[in-house]
Structure 1
Amino acid sequence: MRTTAFGVALALAVASLTGPAQAHPPTTPVSVWVTTPDRAELLHERAPVSFHDGASDRTTITVDPRTTYQTMDGFGASITDSSASVLYRLSPADREQTMRKLFDPKQGIGVSFLRQPVGSSDFTAASAHYTFDDVPAGQTDFGLEHFSIAHDEQQVLPLLRRAKQLNPQLKVMATPWSPPAWMKTGGSLVGGRLQDDPKVYDAYARYLVKFVQAYAKAGVPVDYLSIQNEPQNRKPSAYPGTDVPVRQEAAVITALGPILQKASPRTKILGYDHNWTTHPGDVASTPPGEDPETDYPYKLLRTPAAKWIAGTAYHCYSGDPSKQADLHNAFPSKGIWFTECSGSHGPNDTPPQIFRGTLTWHARTLMIGTTRNWAKSVVNWNLALDSTGGPHLGGCDTCTGLVTLQPDGTVTTDAEYYTIGHLSKFVQPGAVRIGSTSYGTTGWNGQLMSAAFRNPDGTTALVVHNENDDPRTFAVAVGDQSFEYELPGGAIATYTWGRVRTDVPQELMARAATASVNAADAGLLVDGDGSTVWQSKAAQAPGQWVQVDLGKAQTFRQVALDSGGNVGDFAPGFDVAVSNDGSSWRTVASGTSNSQLTTVALRPTRARYVRVTQTGSAGNWWSLADLRIYR
């Protein structure tokens, strides 16, 4: 009787934050920038909105500034030899305008990361492929006496220097597509391997250091360096490439690490620089009797060379971004960078189809998919191409860039300009990704996706993508303040705001969960992933319950029942009970809900187990994207 009386009395004192937002004076203003797949809005600044006190009955993206993840380095593309050639076809005035549109954080999108080829790639405007130490066939240059970056001094380096003037926070990564041919089996830049010789490993390491030093002297310091683009791509299509198995990459890095640290302490080494998963074509091309090394980045980080490796670089052409999180979980002290993905198109695709398809795929997979899976950078391929998708020498003939030079001499912006711009213009280098609920998937499920960042200046940037073709109205909440917004189908929005004056509780990590119905999926309640949903798989009925285990007794003051994008699948009535042993329970709150997110406020309560029991009935299922407990 005492327990029942206590529960009723406490329930009367509970403030259950449900129902539509209350009418209060506006507080923090929010800037809104939107891009739609029909090009009706292109990084268009809409009228601002404001946070208000109170909650919403809509699907709610909860931003949690107390939960932090990786620090961001930047967002951008590559000034390939082809991109440089395209930009130099413009008049000086038009080239300057285009560079400002790309790199100026105020007048443009503030591109903040460039991945530069060391020598030739498939996107080369020259008539032949090259490196920075080419000698006639049959000759060698172990003294690197013929080393020269004169090729890049013509167009690439002037553009890089101007980019750094426009955005002083710009970071530069360097990646070779091939060592000089004299270092390789077969004597060609296309295909082959490094000769398995310590003298060659040493020469290649010194070649890379000379490149870093030469670029620094030319006014473009190199922040990151990988030793081979796509080391498992054994059969590049008429462009430079090299098969570099793990043992050879480790050998080169072991030789490179000490001398690079001495010559350029700022330059960090990144490993792998290839796809999320080994491409089936790369597996099929594995020499007979050799390991296809489908776990390449794991193997590399288990070698002694790992001491010199800051982290791993990934590309988008096989697999999905979740592989980044898998590697992070295995090696949490090593960083993750996403360093290449090109938009592409079919032979019969129209420009509107190309724009829509590229925008929406890149939005969910790269903008949000990579950053929610620990990427410190999001980098596309070519910065600029012409209307034929070139110039290129071998390789891709359907690739797109951030901008395109049209036959009439105008420069147009592509989908990648906007997917990168929605990040680079608002998320400053040094920003930290913070917690935000996200209900969509990189595989498309028609829900809302989000990623949130806290900038060094204290502002917050929230990127939201509506995967659905139809408009979606949703809420954004920070603590006990929120705002509602409708986003067109397929659209991207970036919301920015300053400090929100609200008490933001800290989430407690639950160890396990169970349920009275569909217990097999109960772990989805506490996986921190709003795109995975526990469902009762039966009509809602009194007595159904879900339960979480905090691992030990802890003090908390809020319970959040988040039904995410499963509209209407909230519990119409509920009890919240707690226990220290999982057997003896006391009710600490009761309530009703008509909201996708129901936040139940409690007096400070200490317990190990929290159980939410259904007290209402409904013909639809009970769905919970997450059940969260807050201190």
Structure 2
Amino acid sequence: MLELKIFQSKGENELFVEQSLQQLTPITSDEAVTTVTLDENQTFQVMDGFGASFTDSSAYLINQVLDNEQRTEVMIKLFHPQDGIGLSVLRNPMGASDYARDIYSYDDMPELEIDTELTHFTISHDEVDIIPLLQKALEINPEIKLMASPWSAPGWMKTSGSMIAGELKREYYQVYADYFVRYIQAFERHGLLTYAVTPQNEPLYEPKHYPSMLMLPESQMVFIKDYLKPSFVKHNMDTKILCYDHNWDRPDYPLTVLEHAKDEVDGVAWHWYGGDASAQSEVLEAFADKEVHFTEGSGGEWIPPFEQAFSNVMRTGIDILRNHSKSFVLWNMALDEKIGPTVPGFGTSTCRGIVTVNQETRELNYTLDYYALAHFSKFIRPNSLRIDSSSSCEIIRSVAFRNTDDSFAVVLFNDSEEAKNVAVKLQGEELLTFRLASKGAISIKINN
């Protein structure tokens, strides 16, 4: 006998609400039924999971602004598989990003001074807020995987002499590889294993108002092939190396890197700020043994809340997974009421966090991104296997997985302007029928 567990979102005032089969809106007899068919005989990628980033700003807000009771609540609601939404992938900026209270690396030096032996290397900054929260998250959910991405090398390694803009100097490629090794070793001493790294966040974007570093594909392939991977091998590190870490609109970048450093690269990391998720499949077709990861996508004021913004996360999240990604990671875990803090000189921020922590009132709120992520992370658990799901009408978007306990997880989104009749079938057997609200989402767990 099948057992169903269901969560549904019907709009801003009814988000991720648990419902029984009897509480679902029944189909109407005068309209066609869209059938979503699940086929466990066709399988695709194994999931690592879903998550966001403990940026310096996010970690500060959760660890220092919230009180103990609030901090415990939010960590449980973010990471606990039963009492929360079970987030299981965290991407850590290596040093300052745009969402940090100041600009810092792990080896800052006075102007015109260098430290090629990395004698001044320290992760003391992260030991205040970031590391305690990572340790707490892992305590709550031991299945969490940690990724790491730098926004910039230390300024003294770069042509700009600063963490703002510029490129990595060729004479410091080995030193920078050693910098990655030091980072991984330092975090491991805190019980934190680094699952994967990328050499550079958004390597084709060189903003002048927050840490950044231009790294063209020709440079990245040399850095990975001749320096980073050999350094990992030398130190017996099995941390994965993901190339690119930028938008869908430039698949030529990872294709170039993989052509010349195929054996040294484990996969490709993607962002959603340009292009289409089909780029993930395009590169996978050329390099079928490489992993696909989605490592950053932020909601923000450029997409009006609520409906359009919620729909964007649901629609795009399903596309990301249907295009073979093993992970779906949004951006800041927390931001404040002013959409910050940001680095000095950043200007106006427009991004949205998973939660909002008001620095003046200490009020804690969960944003639409939290509930959208919940539709995926609650039932699609780590190491689940994506199975085929096909819809008789493409306006009902779907993705489905088989978990390691043999349960099935199905996420559906009605991308039309009208409510639709929906039937879900598994191996030809109809499991349930219901009416799905316009721009509504539903997550279904099917236990055998």
Contact 2:37 2:428 survives alignment (8 Å): no
| More moved, 264-273 vs 166-175 | 264-273
Amino acid at match of 1:173: M
Letter in 2 for 1:338: F
What is the one-letter code of the residue matched to 2:298? S
Amino acid across the alignment from 1:75: F
**Partner of residue 300, structure 1:** 257
Q: For residue 450 of structure 1, what is the aligned residue in structure 2? A: 398
* TM-score normalised per structure 2: 0.94
Query: Separation in 2 of the partners of 1:241 and 1:36?
Result: 40
Q: Could you tell me which amino acid in structure 2 is paired with residue 300 of structure 1?
A: V
**1:582 equivalent in structure 2:** none
Match of 1:476 in 2: 424
Matches within 5 A, 1:168-183: 168-183=142-157
Q: 1:29 Cα shift? A: 2.7
Secondary structure of 2:178's partner? Answer: helix
CA distance in 2: counterparts of 1:156 and 1:131, whole angstroms: 14
State whether structure 2 residue 315 is matched by structure 1 residue 358.
Answer: no
Which residue of structure 2 lines up, in the alignment, with residue 505 of structure 1? none
Q: 1:119 aligns with which of 91, 95, 99?
A: 95
Q: Deviations over 1:434-460 (max 9, x none)?
A: 00014677xxxxx10000000111110
Q: For 1:154, what is the secondary structure of its paired residue?
A: coil
Tell me how far apart the structure 1 counterparts of residues 234 and 377 of structure 2 sit (CA, whole Å).
32
**Would the aligned equivalents of 2:40 and 2:427 in 1 still touch at CA under 8 Å?**
no
- Residues 78 and 383, structure 1, Cα contact 8 Å, conserved in 2: yes
Residue 209 of structure 2 corresponds to which residue in structure 1? 238
**C-alpha distance in structure 2 between counterparts of 1:368 and 1:440, whole Å:** 15
**Residue 102 (structure 1) aligned to one of 72, 78, 88:** 78
Structure ID, larger Rg: 1
The reply on whether 1:217 has 2:189 as its aligned counterpart is yes
5 Å matches for 1:53-92? 58-87=33-62, 88-92=64-68
Identity %: 38
Q: In structure 2, what is the equivalent of residue 336 of structure 1?
A: 292
Q: 1:598-609 residue pairs with structure 2 within 5 A?
A: none
1:153 and 1:440, CA in 2 relative to 1: closer, same or farther beyond 3 A?
farther
SS in 1 for 2:182: helix
> Relative to structure 1, is the Cα distance of residues 215 and 264 closer, same or farther in structure 2, using a 3 angstrom cutoff?
farther
Count of residues paired in the alignment: 435
* Offset, 1:121: 0.3
Q: Give 5+ residue unaligned stretches, structure 2.
A: 24-30
1:382 aligns with 2:314: no
User: How many angstroms apart in 2 are the aligned matches of 1:426 and 1:155?
Assistant: 29
Alignment partner of 1:432 is 2:385: yes
Secondary structure of the residue aligned to 2:44 is: strand
Measured after TM superposition, the shift of residue 405 of structure 1 is 1.3
Cross-structure match for 1:496 = 445
| 1:568-583 equivalences in 2 (<5 Å) | none
Amino acid of the residue matched to residue 181 of structure 2? V
Q: Aligned runs of 1:249-268 on 2, under 5 Å?
A: 249-254=220-225, 255-263=227-235, 265-268=237-240
> In the alignment, what sits opposite 2:356?
404
Q: Distance in 1 between matches of 2:208 and 2:349?
A: 11
Q: Distance in 1 between matches of 2:243 and 2:96?
A: 20
**Aligned AA for 2:200?**
Q
Residue 378 of structure 1 aligns with an amino acid whose one-letter code is: F
- State whether residues 82 and 392 of structure 1, in contact with CA within 8 Å, keep that contact through their aligned partners in structure 2: yes
Pairing 1:203–2:195 present: no
Q: Deviations over 1:491-519 (max 9, x none)?
A: 111011123xxxxxxxxxxxxxxxxxxxx
Match of 2:15 among 42, 45, 54: 42
Q: Which structure is richer in relative contact order (CA contacts within 8 A, separation 6 or more)?
A: 2
CA distance in 2, matches of 1:116, 1:440: 39
Quote how far apart the aligned CAs of 1:433 are: 0.5
Q: Secondary structure at the match of 1:37?
A: coil
Output one character per residue of 1:162-189: Cα deviation in whole Å (capped at 9) or x when no partner. Answer: 0000110001100000001111002011
In the TM superposition, residue 408 of structure 1 has moved relative to its aligned partner by: 2.8
Runs of 4+ in 1 over 6 A off after TM superposition: none
One-letter identity of the residue aligned with 2:408: T
Query: Where does structure 1 lack aligned partners over 5 or more consecutive residues?
Result: 1-26, 51-55, 279-293, 442-446, 500-631
Distance 1:57 1:481, change over 3 A: farther
Cα drift, residue 263 of structure 1 = 2.8
Distance 2:306 2:86 in 1: 21
